[in-house]
């Protein structure tokens, strides 16, 4: 059974520092990996999706890497801002036809960026 | 651009009552999903529908039923609510291929 772990559960950084969020998974047979942002009382917003054949994806200040063989992904957020304060979740999609789209989530990392 | 719309946003039930959570998407997506989110845990898949007319169980289906009414709508029903079903419920949809899932804002359900 796939297990997804995010460490740390929470972190606080001063504005301007780079954020590094970690995600690990136990089964390397994945279809894709997604990073989401969740604001308090809100739904999830997709940030980046990395296909299993890719090593990284970038969008603006965000960069996500994927190392399938070691079961790890890292989300980098450059030059953090107070508006980046949120919970960040990673999720993996299974590698078999009947498990595509069925996401297995980590518990998330709660981020606070202090002015 | 409504995306994924869930109703109601909040609901309080008594143990044993029934209710249906509604979800609709306007992105012409084939696949739709229901998740629950509990404190300190990630989201867990309850049921999903890969396409109109099909539904399948996810990780935690006990106590729930679903209906894929048409391509747009996917409802989740609690037949006899239990306190353990107190949670935040999220609906999501996804297009074809390697596309991200789009989430609604959730329904916060309390069962007394």
Distance of residue A80 Cα from the nearest chain B Cα, in angstroms = 24
Judged by CB atoms closer than 8 Å, whether chains meet at B42 and A91 is answered as: yes
Q: How confident is the model at residue B97 (pLDDT cuts 50, 70, 90)?
A: confident
Distance of residue A32 Cα from the nearest chain B Cα, in angstroms = 7
Judged by CB atoms closer than 8 Å, whether chains meet at B43 and A91 is answered as: yes
pLDDT of A95 strictly over 70: no
What average pLDDT score do residues B38-56 get?
Answer: 91
The per-residue pLDDT of chain B, averaged, comes to 94
Tens-digit pLDDT profile for residues B9-27: 999 999 999 999 999 999 9
pLDDT of B75 strictly over 90: yes
Phi and psi angles of residue A62, each rounded to the nearest 5 degrees, phi first: -100, 135
Question: In percent, how much of chain B has pLDDT > 70?
Answer: 99
pLDDT of A98 strictly over 70: no
B38-72: b (≥16 Cβ within 10 Å) or e: eeeebbbbbbbbbeeeebeebebbeebebebeebb
What average pLDDT score do residues A49-73 get?
Answer: 95
Q: How confident is the model at residue A94 (pLDDT cuts 50, 70, 90)?
A: confident
pLDDT of A109 strictly over 90: yes
Measure CB to CB from residue B45 to each of A31, A43, A102 and give the nearest one.
Answer: A102
Report yes or no: A93 and A32 within 8 Å, Cβ to Cβ.
yes
Instruction: Quote the pLDDT of residue A97.
Output: 65
| Selected residue with higher pLDDT from A96 and B72 | B72
């Amino acid at each position: 059974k796939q297990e997804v772990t995010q460490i740390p559960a929470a972190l606080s950084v001063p504005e301007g520092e780079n954020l590094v969020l970690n995600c690990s998974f136990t089964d390397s047979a994945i279809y894709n990996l997604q990073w989401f942002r969740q604001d308090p009382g809100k739904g999830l917003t997709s940030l980046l999706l990395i296909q299993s054949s890719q090593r990284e994806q970038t969008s603006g200040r965000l960069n996500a890497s994927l190392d399938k063989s070691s079961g790890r992904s890292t989300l980098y957020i450059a030059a953090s801002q107070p508006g980046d304060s949120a919970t960040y979740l990673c999720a993996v999609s299974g590698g078999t036809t009947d498990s595509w789209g069925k996401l297995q989530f980590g518990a998330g990392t709660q981020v606070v960026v202090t002015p | 651009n409504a995306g994924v719309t869930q109703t109601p946003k909040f609901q309080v039930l008594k143990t044993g009552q029934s209710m249906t959570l509604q979800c609709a998407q306007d992105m012409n997506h084939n696949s739709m999903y229901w998740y629950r989110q509990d404190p300190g845990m990630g989201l867990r898949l309850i049921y999903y529908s890969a396409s109109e007319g099909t539904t399948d169980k996810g990780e935690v289906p006990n106590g729930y039923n679903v209906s894929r009414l048409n391509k747009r709508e996917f409802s989740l029903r609690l037949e006899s609510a239990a306190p353990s079903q107190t949670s935040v419920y999220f609906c999501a949809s996804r297009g074809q291929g390697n596309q991200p899932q789009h989430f609604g804002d959730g329904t916060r359900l309390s069962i007394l």
